[in-house]
Each structure stands twice: as C-alpha cells, then as structure tokens.
Amino acid sequence: MISLACAFLPLIGSLLLVIPAFRGRAALGVVFGVSLLETLTAFAAVAVRVPEAPEYSLERFMVLDATSALFLLLISVVFLGISIYFLNQPTGVALPVPGPDRHLAMRSLLFFSCSIFAVLSNHLVSMWIFLELGTFAIAPLICQDNRPAGLRASWKYLLFSVIGLGFNFLGLLCLARAMGGSHGHHELTFFIDDLNQVTTLGDPLWWRLGMALIVFGLGTKLGLAPMYAWLPDAYDEAPAAITTMMTAVQSNCVILALFRQVGLLRSFDPGLISEELIMMGAVSIGVAGLHIIRADNFKRLICYASINHAGTIALGLGSGKYAAYGVVLYVVSNALVKSVLFLTGGNIENHYGTKRIFALRGLMRVMPFSAPAFMLGVFALLGFAPFGSFLGEVMMLSNMIEEGHLLGFFFVCIMLTIILMATGRALFPMIWGDAPEGGTPARDPFSSNVACLFFVVILVSLGIYMPSPVSSLLREVATTLGGR
C-alpha cells in the first residue's frame, strides 16, 4: 500500500497550504518537503515491489507494476529537482512565477498529485480524468505578468490539450462500442488488466477508428505534428520551472498513457498503430528540423527539439521489437536532459534578460556553473555518447534497418544531421564565444545550482553506468511494449 501513500502525499501537501501560516517561502518549503518525502516513498514502493506481480489498491483503480513504477520514480525525481530550484529564489525577475508563492506552491502540488494519480491509474477513463485535471492545474502558471503573449500561450495550451484529450476520449468511446458489439453479454470494462484479456473487438470500423483517435489525441497532447503549435509558445512563455514541469512531468504522464494504450491495442492491428505512429513521428522530426534552422531564441530552439524528441519516441514505438528498450531508455534520458536545459536556461535568461541567441556569447566565462551544465545538456540533447539518448537512438535506428524501414532510416539520419548542425551553429558560439567587454561573472542562486547539479549527476551517471535494478525495470517495461 506504499503506492497509495505516493498518490495522496502531494494532495495532502496542497491542502496544508490552505493554512494561512504557510505563506511566502514557507509555502515553497512545503513543496520541497512533500517532494522529498514523495521521492523517498516512491523508491521504497519500487524497492519492495515484486517483479511481474502488480500491486492493486483503491478497488483496482490504481496499480503499481513495472510501467507505473518507472514513471513514478522518474516524475518524483524530476519534481524534487524542481522543488529545489524553487527554494531561495530572490524576489523579482528570478522568481519562478510572479505572484504569491502560496499560489505557485498549491497549484504545483495539485498538478503533481494529478500526475501521480495518472501514472498509477489502472483504468483508462480515470487516467484520462487526471490528465485533464493536471492540464487545468498548470495552465494558469504559464502566463507571466499577464502579458498578452503569455495569455495567448496559456489559452493555446489549454485549447490544444482539451482537444487532444477529447480525441482520446472519443477513441475510448469507439472502443467501448466495438467491445459492446462483440461482448454484449459481458460487463463493459476500461480496467487495463481486464482489457489485456480481450481477444476480439467486434466491428473493425469502430475499433480501427478508436485506435486512430487514441493515438492522434495523445499525439496532440504530446506535441506531435500536425497538432504541435501550442508547444513552442507554451514552453517559451512559461517560467523555467513551469516549463520543466510540462516537459519532464506532464509529457511523461502522456507517454505512459501512450505506452499503456499502444500496448493494449497493438495486438489487434499492429499495422495501423505502427503506420500512424511512424507517420506522425517522421513529420514531427521534419517540422522540428525546419524550425530549429530558423530559431533565433535559445529557449524556443529547445522547444522545437522537444518536438523532435517526441517524434523520435513515436517513431521508435511504431517500430516495436528491439526498439522498445531504446524507446524506454530514451524517454528516461530525455526527461533529465530537458530538466537540465530548461532550468539552466532559466538562469541564463535571468542574468542576461534575453533569450536571443546572437545577444549571448561567452557563457563559459560569465556563468561558470550554469554554462557547463547547459553544455552537457546540449551534448545529451544532440545524442552524444555516453548519454542514454545516444544508446536509445542507436537501438531505434538499428531496429529500423532490421525491420526494413530503410527509407525512414535514411530520412531520420538526414534530419538528425541537419538538427545537429543547426543546433551546434546556434548554441556552440553562445557557450564558447568571446564574452562581451566588462561582463562580470554571474552568481546564480544556490538552490538553482543545486537543482541543475542534481539532474546533471543523474544524467551522466546513468550514461556511464546503468545499475542492474534500473536496467531490469527498463527491460520489464519494454516487454510490455512488445520488446524482446
């Protein structure tokens, strides 16, 4: 029942913030305390978990299995790093979001609670509900100082998210119609473990339509082309910590939902699922490459790289088999990479007051802590060894050759080369170029340095040495996706 504690801890923390005593920095201290306790509880839950023996709670609406255990650990660790970043932030421009700290803390913990419930859900409709609630919890935090651009980004994020999850829900209704036509004498169910036992889905028209809508809806929420327009604006306008929540916490909840639903549906029509994922993935990589070439804003460039990474994950999921382990490893590495880049990027923006690439030079001299962390994040972003993103991409590309997707293989290689050159041309002078005359070394807040170091250490450590329990957990998750 430890997993049950994981689900309710952030919710209890958000309710504590109703008490007037928790104001200002005390409210952010509650976020850190809850995050630390949540991470320790998550590690305990995973440590006592019996492999291949799911632990159920709340009348089977919640489950701790390999997939939920991995994502529970991942988002707990990421949120802990974000909560460290919140601490000791000076007032003014460096505050993670403007306005009362209690407002930030309460909404952050509500968002975290919804994310944990979504990860642990054993019911497709309850998972959908918590993804929606998480969207409504974080949307107001995107807008900064009520600026028109921030308001537009917040509403665009909310609109696209609701539309995407609406498509997903329509897909679930189509599957329900198909199951009702085939198993009218059985009770209709959306419990994931029950759906694993379903062998036929009745009318092909309904379940094929349902599959297509489910993948398209989750792809929209993830930021895949063609429904990606919300992502660059929302990630760019949101403060660094909020962007990290969206890209490294909420995106991973959506990826888990995609893992769950693709794993359930692939056996009925693997061709349909694979073709849709490969098409959306390839188009997303192409679109991201074109935008990265033209980017003159370093944060927006990382936003477009997020679309590229989402496309790579979709492409790997569409390939299946050996690519499954590479996809899971890539997802874990990607969450840590984005955390490093957006948090260090927040430090850079706070110091210089701009995100324009050509206005930034000599970061290694001016920002002796944030710049090396940002540099390592860029290397991992581009898929350099020894980071997990490198091994994940190699496994996915080798699987494409094995499966005979040669056209897709060459397309991905060409686009990754273009992205590598465009990103290097933009960001490397920013890191190593000549610093402007009279530039004084920056003194980043201690908490932000600790948060960035926290993610860098985990990212580099997992790239150099993968502990056996972690590798076993990744393989167990890959097996549920049809991996070998």
- Nearest CA-CA partner of 457 in 371, 368, 341, 373: 373
Give Cα separations from 27 to 24, 88, 104, 136, 328 (angstroms): 6, 12, 9, 21, 35
Examine residue 478 and state whether it is found in any structural domain, yes or no. yes
Domain that holds residue 470: 269-484
Could you identify the residue written with the tokens 């994950």?
A: 313
Per-residue tokens: 37: 């306790």
Per-residue tokens: 299: 């944060």
Give me the DSSP letters along 43-62.
Answer: HHHHHTPPTT--EEETTTTE
Contacts of 154 (CB under 8 A, 6+ apart): 139, 140, 142, 143, 234, 237
Count Cα atoms within 13 angstroms, Cβ side, for 414. 9
Per-residue tokens: 336: 């840590």
Tens-digit pLDDT profile for residues 187-201: 678 999 888 887 777
| Number of residues that this document lists for the chain | 484
CA torsion 349-352-357-360 (nearest 10°) is: -140
- Between CA 10 and CA 7 the distance in angstroms is 7
At residue 2, the pLDDT reads 83
Examine residue 480 and state whether it is found in any structural domain, yes or no. yes
Examine residue 313 and state whether it is found in any structural domain, yes or no. yes
- Between CA 456 and CA 374 the distance in angstroms is 9
Would you give the end-to-end CA distance of the chain in angstroms? 31
CA torsion 142-303-170-124 (nearest 10°) is: -80
Examine residue 440 and state whether it is found in any structural domain, yes or no. yes
Examine residue 101 and state whether it is found in any structural domain, yes or no. no
- Between CA 298 and CA 352 the distance in angstroms is 13
At residue 93, the pLDDT reads 37
- Between CA 182 and CA 201 the distance in angstroms is 6
Per-residue tokens: 287: 């679109």
Examine residue 292 and state whether it is found in any structural domain, yes or no. yes
Low-confidence ranges of the chain (pLDDT < 50): 90-99, 183-185
Tens-digit pLDDT profile for residues 40-63: 999 999 999 888 789 999 999 999
- Between CA 179 and CA 309 the distance in angstroms is 34
Residue type, 393: E
* Mean per-residue pLDDT over the chain, rounded: 89
Preceding omega of 96 cis (within 30 degrees of 0): no
Preceding omega of 226 cis (within 30 degrees of 0): yes
Examine residue 6 and state whether it is found in any structural domain, yes or no. no
Examine residue 307 and state whether it is found in any structural domain, yes or no. yes
Structural domain total, the chain: 1
Angle between helices 446-464 and 388-402 (to 10 degrees): 40
At residue 239, the pLDDT reads 93
The model's pTM is: 0.94
